[in-house]
Amino acid sequence: MGLFLFLGMPSLKETLCKNVEMNNEVLRDFMSYWHPLEITKGEFISEAGKVENYFYYVEKGVLRAYFIKDGQDRSVGFTYDGDYSGAYDSFLTRKPSLFYLEALTDCKLYRISKSDLELMYDKHKDVERWGRLFNQEILFKKGFHEINVLSYTAEERFERLLRESPHMIQLVPQKHLASYLGMSAETFSRLRKKTKL
């Protein structure tokens, strides 16, 4: 059982060089700037209005990103084991963030500061490439989600979620999944019933 969990959890090291060939020296140096951090369910790593100074890797746990409009809370994305997270817009632009980042479970994180990451970009071409490919990856995800929200009905979006991200149903409360898919919690619940899930 312990072994299974181990297999399911890519390490920071593995994730960093998932898409890039990275010289061992460089990787060691890069790794040394990521510092561990543990937070508990309900804590925030980021709040709207503040400038974000860190970028995160989630080794274990679930994070939710959302913003508030007219008092309503709208989820824009979730992070699970083995993925990066953070208020990336604010981290890059140094402007106040639009988003909150909340732990939906206890989390084991690593993080790197803005200045350290820039140091790494300057120092290592491999890290520069890592950054390019990382930006590329989120771009794909965003593009996918945009098309999803833009061009499908609530029912189709619900079906696609079931098909493509069934794990989310387990990990994330439905009201958040609903707002992520751009529908009310009630509509989500009715679709759920209809699909007799």
* Residues of this chain that bind DNA (CB under 7 A): 153-155, 173-175, 182-190, 192-193
Which of 18, 41, 142, 194 binds its own copies (CB under 8 A)? It is 142
Residue of 182, 59, 186 lying closest to 111 (CA atoms): 59
- Site size for its own copies (CB under 8 A): 29
Which of 151, 163, 170, 196 binds its own copies (CB under 8 A)? It is 151
Which of 136, 184, 189, 195 binds its own copies (CB under 8 A)? It is 136
Q: Which one, 151 or 170, has the nearer CB to its own copies?
A: 151
123 lies in the site for its own copies, by CB under 8 A: no
Beta-carbon contacts of 101 under 8 Å, excluding residues fewer than 6 positions away, are 44, 45, 46, 47, 63, 64, 65, 85, 86, 87
Site residues for its own copies, window 41-70 (CB under 8 A)?
Answer: 67, 69
Identify whether the C-beta of residue 99 lies closer than 8 Å to the C-beta of residue 67.
Answer: yes
11 lies in the site for its own copies, by CB under 8 A: no
Residue 21, SS3 per DSSP: coil
| Residues paired with 79 in a beta bridge | 63
Q: Which one, 16 or 65, has the nearer CB to DNA?
A: 65
Q: Which one, 59 or 99, has the nearer CB to its own copies?
A: 99
* Secondary element (H or E) of residue 155: helix 154-164
With contacts defined by CB under 8 A, name the span among 7-15, 50-58, 78-86, 87-95 that binds its own copies: 87-95
Q: Which one, 14 or 146, has the nearer CB to its own copies?
A: 146
Which of 139, 164, 174, 194 binds its own copies (CB under 8 A)? It is 139
Distance CA 161, CA 157 (A): 6
Sheet containing strand 100-103, strands side by side: 44-46, 100-103, 63-69, 72-79
Sequence-ordered strand ranges (E) for 7-97: 35-39, 44-46, 54-60, 63-69, 72-79, 83-85
Residue 125, SS3 per DSSP: helix
Q: Which one, 43 or 156, has the nearer CB to its own copies?
A: 156
Interacting residues toward its own copies by CB under 8 A: 67, 69, 74, 76, 88-89, 92-93, 98, 121, 125, 128-129, 131-132, 135-136, 138-140, 142-143, 145-147, 149-151, 182
